């Protein structure tokens, strides 16, 4: 998935400078011009959003006078969580009637959730010639909005500038749109025996949800507890049982590292990486087995349209101590970037469900590097592997974790020097069984279209150390493609929960 359309970087930089230099005269144009999206509801009446479905959205300017240049952002769901934008094309409005034509540029960042678009009429060949902008209403551009996961999200026009041929900023308004995708809703949130309980009372948090869409959803409840007196927090999900250990405190913990012990081969027809030493590669630091690339991205090489990628990688198994439970599973890599730390270069990391490898490949974050060798975990995504796949918190699930592929991505699709990966490992945190939370497997239920179901309860028998008042936020997390668990479009329930002596 392309985060930035690199071929337009230079154009975009030029236009940004041009628009910036133009925006110095604040004119007195009437505030009637508008930028707006069409349609304003996606999908349209009588239609149901479907993952993989693409929708063409248009950006119009209306009631403008002498429009010379325009720049704006389209804001949409970040972190590749609900939708993405692609196939951006210029409309005819600014180019029509102007012999020199226009310069059109855009960049898309699906991880931050924006597309920046700029259009400017090219100046006359002779600076002494008069110039004029477009007037009236017309199509500025179109883009394709593709649904990639369950959820709803607004699509907005932000940071917009309209500039006339005299270099005046035009006051204007904007109208966005709303994408409404498959989502689940609360039918009921209930606490038994009540929202005030006594130490020793077996307490359950019950949630009932409904699937209002036309496709099956995987759904779980999430409840965030925050102590009023000291703001310490804990998060519980469907099937969890909170045990002990204070509240939100760090328990005694142990760290185990599970290094790569298997290399299945390139994912698909992967290309662009070089392999030094012998398989399985990435199994230990400075053992002569490693992988590297200095290949360019989308527009280069003998495989245009692809980024360099490598996989699949298995990890050593853990024999779990019967007195411990797994509380967190993270991925780390020992890396070095020839040019040093750069936010525009990543090793995007993808995996499928542990053990079964069912479903689509899920982006779990991006590995990265600096100018010196060091261990780094993922960035951009802040959640561990077990957030996406709770089964990883079981011994069998952990031992079934496999990284499906690493993809080397650059913002401008150009090579910046070598990227070296010498080792990769799972960082596994375990805690005493009697401390913290026991987890259900699976920690979600499948809800068919139109179905209403009770989710697995969240259980807690408060102890004396838990006596206090809690602010509680209950929400629903759901997914259709296991790309990301979302809460977009699902109303939260908030209430106060008290534990008394």
Name the more confident of 298 and 47. Answer: 47
- 276: Cβ–Cβ under 8 A, 6 or more apart, which residues? 288, 289, 290, 291, 292
- The answer to whether residue 117 is domain-embedded is yes
Residues 39 and 172 in one domain: yes
User: What pLDDT band is residue 119 in, cutting at 50, 70 and 90?
Assistant: very high
Average pLDDT over residues 100-104: 90
- The answer to whether residue 151 is domain-embedded is yes
- The answer to whether residue 441 is domain-embedded is yes
Residues 411 and 465 in one domain: no
Residues 60 and 80 in one domain: yes
Average pLDDT over residues 161-171: 91
User: What pLDDT band is residue 11 in, cutting at 50, 70 and 90?
Assistant: very low
Residues 349 and 283 in one domain: yes
Residues 19 and 138 in one domain: yes
CATH number, domain with residue 289? 2.60.120
The last residue of one of the domains, among 179, 202, 223, is: 179
Average pLDDT over residues 362-386: 89
Average pLDDT over residues 284-302: 76
CATH number, domain with residue 494? 2.60.40.10
Residues 474 and 389 in one domain: no
Residue 430 reports pLDDT greater than 60: yes
According to the model, what pLDDT value does residue 496 have? Answer: 96
According to the model, what pLDDT value does residue 296 have? Answer: 65
CATH number, domain with residue 99? 2.60.40.680
User: What pLDDT band is residue 198 in, cutting at 50, 70 and 90?
Assistant: very high
According to the model, what pLDDT value does residue 400 have? Answer: 93
User: What pLDDT band is residue 297 in, cutting at 50, 70 and 90?
Assistant: low
Residues 381 and 274 in one domain: yes
Name the more confident of 11 and 460. Answer: 460
The last residue of one of the domains, among 404, 432, 460, is: 432
C-beta of residue 293 within 8 angstroms of C-beta of residue 408: yes
C-beta of residue 71 within 8 angstroms of C-beta of residue 116: yes
Residues 483 and 399 in one domain: no
DSSP state string for 34-53: EEEEE-SEES-TT----TT-
Mean per-residue pLDDT over the chain, rounded: 85
Dihedral of CA 461/467/472/478: which sign? Answer: negative
Residues 392 and 287 in one domain: yes
Which residue matches tokens 């009932």? 208
- The answer to whether residue 1 is domain-embedded is no
Q: How many domains does the chain have?
A: 3
Average pLDDT over residues 238-244: 82
The last residue of one of the domains, among 147, 179, 211, is: 179
Residues 43 and 164 in one domain: yes
Name the more confident of 456 and 416. Answer: 456
According to the model, what pLDDT value does residue 324 have? Answer: 87
Residue 179 reports pLDDT greater than 50: yes
Averaging pLDDT over each range in 22-26, 225-229, 248-252, 389-393, which range is the top one?
225-229
Average pLDDT over residues 131-143: 94
Which tokens sit at 50? 């479907």
According to the model, what pLDDT value does residue 157 have? Answer: 96
Residues 426 and 482 in one domain: no
Which residue matches tokens 């200095």? 294
**Structural domain of residue 415, as residue ranges?**
254-432
Give the pTM.
0.67
Give 120's Cβ-side CA count (13 Å radius): 25
- The answer to whether residue 460 is domain-embedded is yes
On the question of a cis peptide bond just before residue 201, with omega within 30 degrees of 0, the verdict is: no
Average pLDDT over residues 318-343: 89
Residues 243 and 384 in one domain: no
C-beta of residue 146 within 8 angstroms of C-beta of residue 4: no
pLDDT tens-digit readout, 61-96: 999 999 999 999 999 998 778 888 989 999 999 999
């Amino acid at each position: 998935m392309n985060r930035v359309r690199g071929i337009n970087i230079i154009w975009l930089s030029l236009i940004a400078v041009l628009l910036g230099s133009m925006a110095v005269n604040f004119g007195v144009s009437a505030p009637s011009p508008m930028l707006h999206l069409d349609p304003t509801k996606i999908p349209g009446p009588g239609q149901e959003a479907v993952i993989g479905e693409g929708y063409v959205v248009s950006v119009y300017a209306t009631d403008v006078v002498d429009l010379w240049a325009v720049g704006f952002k389209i804001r949409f769901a970040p972190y590749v969580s609900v939708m993405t934008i692609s196939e951006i094309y210029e409309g005819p409005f600014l180019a029509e009637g102007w012999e020199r034509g226009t310069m059109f540029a855009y960049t898309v960042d699906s991880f931050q959730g924006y597309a920046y678009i700029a259009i400017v009429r090219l100046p006359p060949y002779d600076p002494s010639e008069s110039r004029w902008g477009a007037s009236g209403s017309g199509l500025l551009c179109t883009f394709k909005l593709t649904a990639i996961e369950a959820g709803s999200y607004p699509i907005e026009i932000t940071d917009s500038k309209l500039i006339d041929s005299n270099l005046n900023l035009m006051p204007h308004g904007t109208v966005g749109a709303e994408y409404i995708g498959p989502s689940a809703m609360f039918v009921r949130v209930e606490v038994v025996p009540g929202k005030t309980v006594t130490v020793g009372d077996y307490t359950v948090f019950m949630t009932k949800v409904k699937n209002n869409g036309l496709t099956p959803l995987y759904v779980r409840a999430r409840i965030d507890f925050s102590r009023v007196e000291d703001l310490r927090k804990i998060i519980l999900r469907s099937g969890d049982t909170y045990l002990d250990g204070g509240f939100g405190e760090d328990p005694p913990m142990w760290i185990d590292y599970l290094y790569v012990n298997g290399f299945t081969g390139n994912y698909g027809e992967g290309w662009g990486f070089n392999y030094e030493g012998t398989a399985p590669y990435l199994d230990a630091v400075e053992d002569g087995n490693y992988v590297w690339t200095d290949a360019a991205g989308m527009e280069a090489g003998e495989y245009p349209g692809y980024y360099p990628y490598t996989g699949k990688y298995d990890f050593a198994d853990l024999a779990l101590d019967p007195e411990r439970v797994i509380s967190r599973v993270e991925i780390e890599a020992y890396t070095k970037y020839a040019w040093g730390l750069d936010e525009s270069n990543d090793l995007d990391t993808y995996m499928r469900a542990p053990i079964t490898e069912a479903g689509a490949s899920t982006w779990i974050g991006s590995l990265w590097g600096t100018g010196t060798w060091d261990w780094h975990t993922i960035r951009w995504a802040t959640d561990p592997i077990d957030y996406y796949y709770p089964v990883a918190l079981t011994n069998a699930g952990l031992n079934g974790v496999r990284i499906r592929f690493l993809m080397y991505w650059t913002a401008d699709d150009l090579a910046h020097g070598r990227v070296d990966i010498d080792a990769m490992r799972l960082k596994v945190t375990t805690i005493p069984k009697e401390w913290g939370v026991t987890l259900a497997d699976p920690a979600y239920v499948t809800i068919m279209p139109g179905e209403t179901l009770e989710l697995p309860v969240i259980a807690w028998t408060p102890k004396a150390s838990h006596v206090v008042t809690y602010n509680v936020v209950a929400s629903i997390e759901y997914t259709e493609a296991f790309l990301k668990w979302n809460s977009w479009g699902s109303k939260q329930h908030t209430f106060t929960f008290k534990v008394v002596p």
